[in-house]
Amino acid sequence: MKITKHIQNLGTESAFEVLARAQALECSGESIINLGIGQPDFRTPENIVEAAQKALRDGHHGYTPANGILPLREIVAEDIEMRRKATINPNNIVIVPGGKVTIFFAALIFGEKGAEIIYPDPGFPIYRSAIEFSGATAVPIHLKEEKNFSFSATDVLDKITPATRLIILNSPANPTGGVVPKEELDCLVDGLLKYPRVAILSDEIYSRLIYEPYKHVSLMSYPSIRDRVILLDGWSKTYAMTGWRIGYGVWPSSIVDYVNRLAINNHSCVNAVAQFAAIEALKGPQESVRYMLRAFDKRRKVIVSELRKMPGIRCNDCAGAFYAMPNISNTGLTSTELQDKLLEEAGVAVIAGTSFGDYGEGFIRFSYAANVDTILEAMDRVRRFLEDY
């Protein structure tokens, strides 16, 4: 069979591979603590589950408009107005099966041979994979530990060339937990005024998972660039809904019709039940979100303090999301070596920093979406491994 070159450029997300290896080891009787995969360990809040059951009973089981049902897009617009101080027309919102889809669609719309797309490294692996699939050149912005994994606006602006079509940004960030401060975003937005043809994809899927004293600032809140910002957000992380497969993108008016066509060609619509559940998530009580945030904050403090006690490990304060990305270069092992040894010899699944880009060498990612006792047990195993090593 003769297959295309671009399909061979498609990367992957190692978290799923590590998950499969961890599950295989568990099946063979090993005790494995999984701090690899990035999904909340909480159940979807009950009011959301009930809304989904009601939707099915009420007969909402058919196709919906490709961009999502209007009441959902309206409530998303209200939520954006409230949290990001931006007025959005619901017709610019496209509901998609998970946050990832907006990344892929953006790569398909902006990427082709000869084009350049800037993306964060270490960063969510799907960015580079989608860019390379599109044929465009993936241009990394090096996120540095000493900047608490934020970037400096000048570093980003310096990467722009006449071929740059799109810049992908992610704050709070996977895998680093880094948050870009407002001053840096202000400088970036000022600098971007010189490049009116460059679009920005702002991945804000962790916007509500942010810890004191850090604050989320949305790129949607800057009117001067709003007509070229694509906002990515969704329900997966905030409402513990990773398996429901629902997220959204807010798209500039000039391209939203292409996005709707991509949706029609690709998936027709998101399943109706998930859309009704998503309405309840945004409209209903938010106590469960606050509860999960408090739990993550507690776990964050535990994991950072435990990691800092370990030989050869240095760990930043994690400002957002639910990841810690310690520097492990003083252990004498590479990221992949440590990932493999921790899985096979200590029974702790983590992800090598290099799964998130070349600049991830010297780091590993822990997802702290597990309860405090589990985290403490994992930390004990890692400490014993490092002390023996």
Residue 75 interacts with ligand PLP (CB under 6 A)? no
Q: Per rule CB under 6 A, is residue 73 in the interface with ligand PLP?
A: no
Measured from each CB, the residue nearest to ligand PLP is 98
Composition of the chain by helix, strand, coil, percent to 5 = 50, 15, 40
List strand residue ranges (DSSP E) for 194-325, in order.
199-203, 229-234, 247-250, 323-324
Among the listed residues 36, 68, 177, 234, the single contact to ligand PLP using CB under 6 A: 234
Nearer to ligand PLP, 168 or 375 (CB): 168
CA distances from 176 to 80, 95, 231, 387 (A): 25, 27, 20, 25
- Residue 335 touching ligand PLP (CB under 6 A): no
Q: How far is the CB of 119 from ligand PLP (least distance, A)?
A: 11
Q: Does 242 bind ligand PLP (CB under 6 A)?
A: yes
Closest approach, Cβ 308 to ligand PLP, in A, equals 24
Q: Does 170 bind ligand PLP (CB under 6 A)?
A: yes
Min separation Cβ 372 and ligand PLP, Å: 22
CB of 5 to ligand PLP, least distance (A): 26
Burial of residue 311, with CB atoms counted within 10 A of its CB: 0-12 exposed, 13-18 middle, 19 or more buried: exposed
Candidates 92-100, 283-291, 305-313, 368-376 — which segment interacts with ligand PLP by CB under 6 A?
A: 92-100
Whether cis (ω within 30° of 0) applies to the bond prior to 213 is: yes
Three-state secondary-structure class, residue 306? helix
Beta bridge partners of 233: 248
Q: Does 320 bind ligand PLP (CB under 6 A)?
A: no
Distance CA 138, CA 33 (A): 34
Binders of ligand PLP among residues 37 to 56 (CB under 6 A) are 38
The alpha carbon dihedral of 267, 273, 278, 283 has a sign of positive
The answer to whether residues 147 and 154 touch, using CB atoms and an 8 Å cutoff, is no
DSSP-assigned beta bridge partners for residue 327? 314, 363
**Site stretch for ligand PLP (CB under 6 A), options 67-75, 95-103, 272-280, 307-315:** 95-103
**Minimum CB distance to ligand PLP, residue 37 (Å):** 9
Question: Which residues of this chain interact with ligand PLP, rule CB under 6 A?
Answer: 38, 98-100, 124, 170, 174, 203, 205, 234, 236, 242, 247
